[in-house]
Amino acid sequence: MDTILVVNAGSSSVKFQVFGLAGPTGLKQLIKGEIDGIGARPRLRAADADGGSLIDQTYTVEDVPDVATAIAKAGAWLRETQKLSPVAVGHRVVHGGPEYGGPILINDDVVAKLNRYIPLAPLHQPNNLAPIRSIRSRFPELPQVACFDTAFHRGHNAVADHFAIPERLYAEGVRRYGFHGLSYEYVAGHLREVAPQIADGRVIVAHLGSGASMCALLNGRSVESTMGFTALDGLPMGTRPGQIDPGILLYLMTEKGMSVEAVQKFLYSECGLKGLSGISNDMRELLASSDGRATLAINHFTYRVGLHAGMLAAALGGLDAFVFTAGIGEKSAPIRERIAARLAWLGVELDPAANAAGGTSIGRATSRVALLVVPTNEELMIARHTLAILSAAHAGSTTLKRSA
């Protein structure tokens, strides 16, 4: 069976999935795996479609010092033990800049352009590009497809897209992009299956994880997002502050003498839940803590979600449904409960039993706003885009051959 490999590379982990091609448009998940702890305690784990363990192996830091080495290890395991040679590889790339509004077949020019957006996503973009370069060096003929977190938001109108700055900067690409687009795209499509009655309505999706944002959907399309030019804006996150007064950054540089590099590290690594609590960037640890600083961080997080929900509801002109997704959104009933309480003014009524059980619908029958939990699947979205690009390229080459 022909297969597609999907790679989702982060700062200290590489997630991957293998999908079999079941017909011209069908995809079947075969393997799901991850190498995490890169640079610290590297560990490769993978399971088959039924959840059965295929490998659970640890490495030394010297064996897997970086993301490129991690993808090489995972690739070697897939080839040597699973006998898989994918026909294409799809990648999550966080920032597509102003040039890329959809998935694209990767070549040298694309890689060079994506390299220019590293300053806009310094935590993510270098790690997204590392496996692309690694695979291109080893298998230059293997098609690779870049799928962008910014692409789903490219339909925003000019009012939503602009900052209140001179137009020349917008022309250079300084604009509101929005992120987590692959997650929102999947959820928007999946809503048509699990809740077709609201899929075309006014929906807020909250992607709550270590990275967190919210998106306003109207008729299944993104019309507004809490994130903007970079993945720093909007909600507080594990180690990122979310919305912050730009004057604070000027203060840090002029009064505290911090360099640009120091401010960047501060914003991406020392703020958010970690900075506010002084304890951890992990919501599970904060919920388990009796420390008042942990309580403050949790309350701040849920408060800001509630504030931004009001903003997005205003952009939509009302609200028909609120959807939780991603790690915290899918797995933390206590956080869902606290956020639902802050949304009561919008007509949200949580069903505590349904919330604890973790089903799809967690709102009461009397709730004016549907309340849902929809697990995201960015990797499946990437696989779908990769298959579409591959099919289009094949059709184009066939047409050319027939024309010749």
- Enumerate the active-site residues: 149
What does the block give as tokens for 86?
């994918």
Work out the end-to-end distance of the chain between its first and last CA atoms, rounded to an integer number of angstroms: 31
Burial class, 107, CB count within 10 angstroms (exposed 0-12 / middle 13-18 / buried 19+): exposed
The DSSP string of 246-312 is: HHHHHHHHHTS---HHHHHHHHHHS-HHHHHHSS-S-HHHHHH---HHHHHHHHHHHHHHHHHHHHH
What is the three-class DSSP state of 315?
helix
